[in-house]
Chain A
Amino acid sequence: MNLILVTFIILLAFTSYYFGRKKALVIQSSQRLTALPKFYGYYLAAWCAVPALIIFVLWSVFEPSIVKTFILQDYTDQNLTKNELQLIYTKVKALAAGTYTGNITNFLDESANKYIQLKGIANSAKVAIILAILIFSLSFAYRSVQKNDRMREPVEIFLKWVLFVASLGAVLVTIGIIFSLLFEAIRFFQAVKIFDFIFGTHWYPAKTFVRDGQPDPELMKDAFGAVPLFAGTFFIAFIAMCVAIPIGLLSGIYLSEYAGRGVRKYAKPIIEILAGIPTVVYGFFAALTVGPFVKEIGNAMGLEVSSESALAAGAVMGVMIIPFISSLSDDVITAVPQNLRDGSYAMGATKSETVKKVIFPAALPGIVGSILLAVSRAVGETMIVVMASGLAANLTMNPLESTSTITAQIVVILIGDQQFGDPKTQSAFALGISLFIVTLFLNVIALSVVKKYREKYE
Chain B
Amino acid sequence: MSKIKAENVNVYYGSKQALFDVSIDIAEKEVTALIGPSGCGKSTFLRCLNRMNDVIDICRVEGSIKMDNLELNSRKLDVVRLRENVGMVFQKPNPFPKTIYENVAYGPTIHGIAQSKEEMDQIVETSLKKAALWNEVKDRLDEIGTGLSGGQQQRLCIARAISVSPEVILMDEPCSALDPIATAQIEELIDDLKKEVTIVIVTHSMSQAARVSQKTGFFHLGKLIEFGSTDKIFKNPDKQQTQDYITGRFG
Contact = CB atoms under 8 A, between A and B. Distances in A.
Interface in A325-360: 337, 339-350, 353, 357-358
Interface string B186-199: 00000000000000
Interface in A424-458: 456
Contact of B87 (A260, A261, A346): A346
Given A347-B83, A347-B106, A357-B106, A341 B96 contact: no
Nearest to B89: A346
Contacts of B95: 343
Interface stretch (B9-17, B49-57, B201-209, B237-245): B49-57
Contact of A361 (B57, B83, B97, B107): B97
Interface string A147-159: 0000000000000
A343 B90 contact: yes
Contacts of B81: 348
A348 B111 contact: yes
A342 B96 contact: no
B65 interface: no
A357 B92 CA distance: 20
B87 A339 contact: no
A410 interface: no
Interface in B167-200: none
A280 to B, nearest CB: 42
Given A339-B90, A357-B106, A358-B96, A346 B83 contact: yes
A337 B97 CA distance: 11
A383 interface: no
A260 B57 contact: yes
Nearest to A260: B57
Interface residues of B, number: 28
Contact of A346 (B50, B97, B111, B146): B50
B52 A348 contact: no
Interface in B37-88: 50, 52, 55, 57, 79-84, 87-88
B96 A261 contact: no
B157 interface: yes
B233 interface: no
Contact of A337 (B83, B94, B107, B160): B94
A346 B80 contact: no
B199 to A, nearest CB: 15
Contacts of A337: 94
Contact of A348 (B97, B107, B146, B157): B107
A347 B164 contact: yes
A362 interface: yes
B98 interface: yes
B114 to A, nearest CB: 14
Report whether over half of chain A's contact residues are helix, strand or loop; otherwise say mixed: helix
A335 to B, nearest CB: 13
B157 A343 contact: yes
A371 B215 CA distance: 54
Interface in A193-250: none
Interface residues of A, number: 21
B90 A342 contact: yes
Contacts of B90: 339, 342-343, 346
B57 A261 contact: yes
- A260, A341, A342, A346: residue with the most chain B Cβ atoms closer than 10 Å: A346
A346 B94 CA distance: 11
Contacts of A357: 106, 110
A347 to B, nearest CB: 5
Given A341-B55, A342-B52, A353-B110, A347 B94 contact: no
A342 B87 CA distance: 11
Contact of A339 (B84, B92, B106, B110): B92
Contact of B83 (A260, A345, A456): A345
Contacts of A345: 52, 55, 83
B232 to A, nearest CB: 32
Interface in B150-175: 157, 160-161, 164
Contact of B96 (A340, A348, A353): A340
B96 A346 contact: no
B97 A362 contact: yes
A347 B80 CA distance: 8
A361 B106 contact: no
Contacts of A341: 55
A348 B83 CA distance: 5
A456 B55 contact: no
Contacts of B107: 347-348
Contacts of A456: 97, 146
A357 B105 CA distance: 12
B52 A346 contact: yes
A353 B110 CA distance: 8
Given A347-B83, A350-B80, A340 B57 contact: no
Contacts of A361: 97-98
A6 to B, nearest CB: 57
A341 B55 CA distance: 10
A349 B52 contact: no
A261 B57 CA distance: 9
- A344, A347, A349, A357: residue with the most chain B Cβ atoms closer than 10 Å: A347
3 cross-chain pairs, A with B, having the tightest CB-CB distances, nearest first: A348-B83, A346-B88, A339-B94
12 contacts: A260-B57, A337-B94, A339-B90, A339-B94, A340-B96, A342-B94, A346-B50, A346-B161, A347-B87, A348-B80, A362-B97, A456-B146
Given A346-B88, A347-B106, 5 more contacts: A260-B57, A342-B88, A348-B79, A348-B81, A349-B106
